[in-house]
Amino acid sequence: MGAGGRMSTAPSNGKKTAAEALKRAPHEKPPFTIGDLKKAIPAHCFEKSLITSFRYLIQDLLMAYALYYVATNYIDQYLPHPLNYLGWAAYIAVQGCVLTGAWVVGHECDHDAFSDYGWVNDLVGLVVHSSLMVPYFSWKISHRRHHANTQSLENDEVYVPRFKYNIRNYYKIFNNPPGRVLVWVTTLLIGFPLYLMFNVSGHKYERWTSHYDPHSPLYTERERKQIIVSDVAILTVIYGLYRLVLIKGFAWVFCVYGGPLLVVNGWFTLITILNHTHPSVPYYDSSEWDWLRGALCTVDRDYGILNKVFHNVCNAHVCHHIFSMIPHYHGLEATEAMKPVLGDYYQYDGTPILKAMYREMKECIYVEKDEGETKGVYWYRKDI
């Protein structure tokens, strides 16, 4: 998935050497403003169409239903044992990708990019996210905080990097090829649920933190009712799955729903890690951080044909962090319009995803200042 290895404003053929791909991004205050970037983007890119947004959502849901219909009516009936296992594995993989696209449309609701109507955004987001076992309002609040503090060592909400002094011994144990593969597999399988339940990899608070706790330090007093609504929606889905297990059996529910859900969680975790983790991007402490520089420290990636399935959330992520209200169907156009203004501040890496996964696990272990550097700019290191 993806082609070549390129970074920033690549030549027209999209090719750069490995050294160029890993060249550090600019970390100084950029010579342009948010206003300059907004002027460069066609005005229609900021327009949200309720009809277009629903079209993408319905398209994803119809595709998901078609896959479900084919799987439940044909796999066991026409594929002899054990080939039916391969059929179900293929269904789980493909259905997981399709539902990840639906997840992305639900994510648009978090940012009010689905429509101009707040109540429509929240209703659609609540239904879509809850159906995929994500507490909508809880996630919406913490995710917006991440967007407000991207790459801030003190205040970013998720994927906060480690410092060398607090690296634990097990990082050294797993700092080898088999260990990195094991860490990736574990992260993709349970990383997102652990973050939601126990704030694993999230911002450190003084007390226990969970997206399901209305009194979590993640939320203000006036937001607690929304968290309860999210929890009730999740419990409703869980109860529905419990009733379905009683009727159809656990194996059927896992194959039809549970397996694809694991794939959705894996894709979402992978996408967010790779869009925010790269050897070339810096982190900032409070002495240097500002919102625009933080937003610019995201990386567009190439997932090949899955870019379209995932509604370009991977390859227009820089734009998404700068103008999160732009709908996904305008993301690529807005990205292309911003590139001449962004120049070397635009970060893109087309390294094949499997290779990028292994490289980032190897190269991005902790952050540290350059020796003798007094500014609050930190870079990834790998030596432990």
Beta-carbon count within 10 A of 20 CB: 15
Q: Comparing C-alpha atoms, which of 74, 193, 89 is closest to residue 202?
A: 193
User: Residue 310 phi/psi, 5° resolution?
Assistant: -90, 15
pLDDT tens profile 143-153? 999 999 999 99
Report if residue 34 sits inside a domain.
Answer: no
Pick the residue with more confidence: 194 or 13?
194
Domain tally, the chain: 1
Report if residue 6 sits inside a domain.
Answer: no
Give the model's pLDDT for residue 109. Answer: 97
What CA–CA distance (Å, rounded) separates 234 from 111? 21
Residue 2 has pLDDT above 50, yes or no: no
Give the model's pLDDT for residue 20. Answer: 67
Report if residue 169 sits inside a domain.
Answer: yes
Domain span at residue 331 reads 42-381
User: Which residues, including other chains, have CB under 8 Å from residue 222's CB and lie 6 or more apart?
Assistant: none
Residue 29 has pLDDT above 60, yes or no: yes
Report if residue 2 sits inside a domain.
Answer: no
Mean of the pLDDT values across residues 185-211? 95
What CA–CA distance (Å, rounded) separates 66 from 54? 18
Dihedral of the alpha carbons of 135, 138, 141, 145, in degrees to the nearest 10: -100
Residue 187 has pLDDT above 60, yes or no: yes
Report if residue 309 sits inside a domain.
Answer: yes
Q: Six-digit token pair at 306?
A: 């899955």
Report if residue 21 sits inside a domain.
Answer: no
Strand spans (E) along 103-184: none
Mean of the pLDDT values across residues 176-201? 95
Residue 19 has pLDDT above 70, yes or no: no
Q: What is the mean pLDDT of the chain?
A: 93
Report if residue 66 sits inside a domain.
Answer: yes
Report if residue 4 sits inside a domain.
Answer: no
Give the model's pLDDT for residue 21. Answer: 67
Could you tell me which residues are beta bridge partners of residue 368? 379
Mean of the pLDDT values across residues 344-364? 94
User: Which residues, including other chains, have CB under 8 Å from residue 128's CB and lie 6 or more apart?
Assistant: 57, 102, 103, 105, 106, 109, 136
Q: Six-digit token pair at 141?
A: 């609040």
